[in-house]
Structure 1
């Protein structure tokens, strides 16, 4: 891509005093004519480049500009590469090695490792690749979506792919529901790209901010056994509970979805006592009776 190449040329010039056009052409695998056009583009962008002809000549940044030669510090460059390597974990064609070369960065031992993939890495990579293609080409998609209400075929106009709350999501205009919806990629299967083009609809700010999508409507008040403290710390932090005189842990938190709250609290079994809401206590009692009947029958 031209933008990547321009950035690479600029960083190369910032990190060494002078370089020739043939060397740049070989480095970025383009023709010398393309490099000359890139140099003109950088000059038009306000970068003071100097070209010297003859033996010992080459391309360099004007001396007065070298007072601020380090456009990016070593730490900033490493931060960029860490982020790119994280995205590489879900891309078919990793960009990290190419970007490292363009930034003239040495291969170093990774101090921070980010893996954005999941147990379904192969299918996730395929979904993200297809959705990126659909977004860039403005093509509609269809898929089967699984939720608490069942499964349903959906047609949508993809707008944005987002990673939040340890999961990948698609924000799209749902043709079925006639509104912007957010779909969890782990629940989205049989994804198909159509050849039908669409005109993108403006994404409202409240839909773009995923934090505003979920209203916390259900308040859980519970008491946990101290043996599961590590889970509360892991999932909600050490300030999410208070220590009672009997050694148990008092916990209060608001949840967006009742089903998610029920599923989460059920995973603790007998290590939790729910105080509120009453409906949750009743559902847990029904679950316990149903489980008891299953095992009594066998």
Structure 2
């Protein structure tokens, strides 16, 4: 992880006083170009790093430099550790090493303030490898290519500049700049196949909020649903409490807005006979048609 590498570069320079970009690149198993970018980041952050050219040249740090923890307040130290412990829930490699060094520097014990497991019950090594590749490409600004399956089952080859991983409503997405579309797009990670990290790098910032970019161009549709009180657990788990009303029998009347695509029908049918679409009529009719088609297969 880049933050861990930056901290370790400082530790190496404080210990060895002078190293070459080649030595650092070999130590971290990255390119010299990546090391040069890291040195620029550290220098711009106020770390007194210098470079000497020539036979005995290299990268060094001023002898009088010490990493002074006093520049951070007690609250800032806690917030840094809390943030990194939150990131550690994503299983970043070597994050424990970074946390251990900072806890020692700040004289703090493990906060243990959060536990999160983003994996699903059947997660496997393929999905973990996919996540690691995307994370690596985002942090090192590498372009990635992959095959993407959209909501209609169409497979396309994409070449993108990955900018951010985004977890929303039980699913992982990446926000990226798509070079085919020449625009920003959001891709659902589970639909990404055969991810390859390219040597080519990019420089691009995120210009707008994640929520302003849609995964697809479908319009939203408002559904009015009647759901049986027998599956109250799903209602409270899956819908905002402000969108839930009750009829005289204690059943739920839910108003919810979703993108208008085929996913809606599968979602409604997942409630079995515990749900009825009240509005709109065209969605209600489509559900009835699907049910009739299913009946034919079993008769």
**TM-score, L = length of structure 1:** 0.69
- Whole-angstrom CA distance in 2 between matches of 1:137 and 1:291: 49
Deviation of 1:84 (Å): 2.6
Residue 112 of structure 1 and its aligned partner are, at CA, apart by: 2.4
| Structure 1 residue 183 corresponds to structure 2 residue 184 | no
Q: Report whether the alignment pairs 1:162 with 2:146.
A: no
1:171 to 155, 169, 175: 175
Match for residue 210 of structure 2? Answer: 209
Q: 2:4, 2:94 within 8 Å by CA — same for their partners in 1? A: no
2:15 maps to which residue?
A: 31
Secondary structure, aligned partner of 1:181: strand
CA distance in structure 1 between the aligned counterparts of 2:268 and 2:188, rounded to whole angstroms: 22
In structure 1, distance between residues paired with 2:203 and 2:116: 32
CA contact (8 A) 1:233 1:240 kept: no
| Match in the other structure for 1:115 | 117
Task: Output one character per residue of 1:106-158: Cα deviation in whole Å (capped at 9) or x when no partner.
Answer: 66484521123344352333223323444455544321211222232323122
Range with greater deviation from structure 2 (247-256 or 124-133): 124-133
Q: Considering only CA atoms, is the larger Rg found in Structure 1 or Structure 2?
A: 1
Long gaps (5+) in structure 1: 10-23, 46-50, 52-58
Equivalent runs, 1:1-298 vs 2, <5 Å? 31-33=15-17, 70-72=73-75, 75-76=78-79, 78-88=81-91, 91=92, 93-104=93-104, 108=110, 110-118=112-120, 119-135=122-138, 138-165=141-168, 166-195=170-199, 197=200, 199-200=202-203, 203-205=206-208, 208-213=209-214, 217-296=220-299
Instruction: Give the 3 Å change call, closer, same or farther, for CA 144–219 of structure 1 in structure 2.
Output: same
Alpha-carbon offset, residue 189 of structure 1: 0.6
Q: Contact 1:144/1:153 (CA < 8 Å) preserved in 2?
A: yes
Q: Tell me the number of residue pairs that the alignment of Structure 1 and Structure 2 aligns.
A: 259
Alpha carbons 1:159, 1:171 under 8 Å: kept? yes
For the 8 Å contact 2:220–2:259, the answer to whether it is kept is yes
Paired position in structure 2 for 1:17: none
For residue 283 of structure 1, report the CA deviation from its aligned partner: 1.4
SS in 2 for 1:229: helix
